[in-house]
């Protein structure tokens, strides 16, 4: 008599999901079951309450970042550009104090603190204009990796995590789509160019342009940024996250949307002419394909190769 088919275990990583995967050897068919000692009861975990103790904080924070990015593209709000930039970085630092939950000692903490210490040497650099500028640089660097600490206090389940991935995918796909439209409809979807880029001179600006088949000179796709070639970032994540959604057990409409995002991302990445993003994406796709091959999921590997390749 054949035993029940062995089900492949689902991997669940540690970290913000607060789950640990333990690999167990499969039990052979017909083998007597071994008496195992009952596992000790896990220690009770304090469940944070309220908005600042739930995974919705991450969704709201990402939405705030996207809103600040879009506000930078509106010319009527150009006098408030500094306010929106401070709001994005300042919110990340403020959540260090506002987010509730059990504090976890992240293994990267010593390295990040050392990085902040190295950045603090700007106070003694002769080229630093003022102490305020050096302090702002330290604050910006700290705000970048601050979510590594406050997000680990939250209990993020699979539903919230899926929303986060979908939100990131949709925004980056929108940026890649706008980048493609900026090339095929010159001047119609073009945002205001960054003042820093404009100050580099005419020769530098021409190096960021290319000539289309119709003879018009256009900037490399900006997407939802104010930098020529900025759509490459959105294109990169549209392909990467779209591939993850394509291979996951999501609904049909999400898979169809992921195929469209992958296609738009590849076209936008080609038009941006940013080789670093293209090479990085190639490495990520090869790594994803290698994992699928080792896991024996050849059908998913074939689907990924057919869509991306």
Is there a single domain that holds both residue 243 and residue 130?
Answer: no
> Is residue 292 situated within a structural domain?
yes
Is there a single domain that holds both residue 191 and residue 134?
Answer: no
Residue pLDDT, tens place only, 77-135: 888 888 998 999 999 999 988 988 777 777 888 888 888 888 888 888 888 888 888 88
Closest by CA to 186, choosing from 152, 209, 156, 158, is: 209
Q: Take residue 223 and report the two structure tokens written for it.
A: 């997407």
Average pLDDT, the chain: 82
Is there a single domain that holds both residue 226 and residue 282?
Answer: yes
Is there a single domain that holds both residue 72 and residue 118?
Answer: yes
Is there a single domain that holds both residue 127 and residue 218?
Answer: no
Q: Which domain holds residue 81?
A: 52-153
Is there a single domain that holds both residue 139 and residue 200?
Answer: no
Is there a single domain that holds both residue 74 and residue 140?
Answer: yes
Residue pLDDT, tens place only, 52-83: 888 889 999 999 999 999 998 888 888 888 89
- 133, 153, 173 - which closes a domain: 153
Q: Take residue 195 and report the two structure tokens written for it.
A: 């003042």
Number of domains the chain is built from: 2
Is there a single domain that holds both residue 98 and residue 214?
Answer: no
- Write out residues in the chain with pLDDT < 50, as ranges: 1, 9-18, 20-23, 34, 36, 48
SS (HEC) of the chain: CCCCCCCCCCCCCCCCCCCCCCCCCCCCCCCCCCCCCCCCCCCCCCCCCCHHHECHHHHHHHHHHHHHHHHCCCHHHHHHHHHHHHHHHHHHHHHHHHCCCCCCCCCCHHHHHHHHHHHHHHHHCCCCCCHHHHHHHHHHHHHHHCHHHHHHHCECCHHHHHHHHHHHHHHHHHHHHHHHHHHHCCCCCCCCCCHHHHCCCHHHHHHCEEECCCCCEEECCCCCCCCCCCHHHHHHHHHHHHHHHHHCCCCHHHHHHHHHHHHHHHHHHHHHCCHHHHHHHHHHHHHHHHHHHHCCCHHHHHHHHHHHC
Is there a single domain that holds both residue 147 and residue 165?
Answer: no
Is there a single domain that holds both residue 134 and residue 185?
Answer: no
Predicted TM-score (pTM) of the model is 0.76
> Is residue 172 situated within a structural domain?
yes
> Is residue 30 situated within a structural domain?
no
Is there a single domain that holds both residue 163 and residue 304?
Answer: yes
Is there a single domain that holds both residue 202 and residue 250?
Answer: yes
- 153, 175, 202 - which closes a domain: 153
């Amino acid at each position: 008599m054949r035993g029940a088919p062995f089900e492949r275990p689902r991997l669940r990583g540690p970290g913000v999901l607060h789950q640990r995967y333990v690999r167990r050897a499969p039990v052979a068919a017909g083998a007597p079951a071994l008496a195992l000692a009952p596992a000790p009861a896990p220690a009770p975990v304090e469940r944070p309450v309220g908005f600042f103790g739930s995974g919705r904080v991450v969704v709201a924070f990402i939405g705030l970042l996207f809103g600040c990015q879009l506000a930078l593209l509106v010319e009527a709000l150009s006098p408030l550009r500094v306010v929106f930039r401070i709001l994005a970085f300042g919110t990340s630092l403020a959540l260090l104090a506002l987010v509730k939950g059990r504090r976890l000692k992240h293994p990267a903490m010593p390295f990040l603190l050392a990085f902040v210490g190295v950045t603090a040497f700007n106070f003694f650099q002769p080229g630093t204009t003022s102490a305020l500028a050096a302090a702002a640089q330290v604050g910006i660097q700290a705000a970048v990796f601050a979510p590594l600490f406050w997000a680990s206090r939250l209990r993020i389940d699979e539903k919230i995590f899926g929303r986060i991935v979908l939100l990131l995918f949709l925004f980056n796909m929108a940026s890649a789509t706008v980048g493609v439209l900026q090339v095929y409809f010159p001047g119609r979807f073009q945002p205001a160019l960054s003042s820093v880029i404009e100050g580099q001179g005419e020769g530098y600006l021409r190096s960021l342009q290319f000539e289309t088949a119709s003879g018009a000179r256009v900037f490399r796709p900006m997407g939802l940024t104010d930098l020529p070639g900025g759509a490459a970032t959105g294109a990169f994540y549209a392909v990467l996250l779209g591939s993850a959604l394509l291979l996951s057990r999501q609904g049909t409409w999400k898979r169809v949307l992921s195929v469209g995002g992958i296609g738009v991302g590849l076209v936008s990445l080609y038009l941006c002419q940013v080789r670093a993003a293209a090479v990085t994406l190639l490495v990520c796709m090869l790594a994803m394909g290698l994992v699928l091959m080792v896991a024996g999921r050849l059908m998913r590997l074939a689907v990924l190769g057919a869509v991306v390749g």
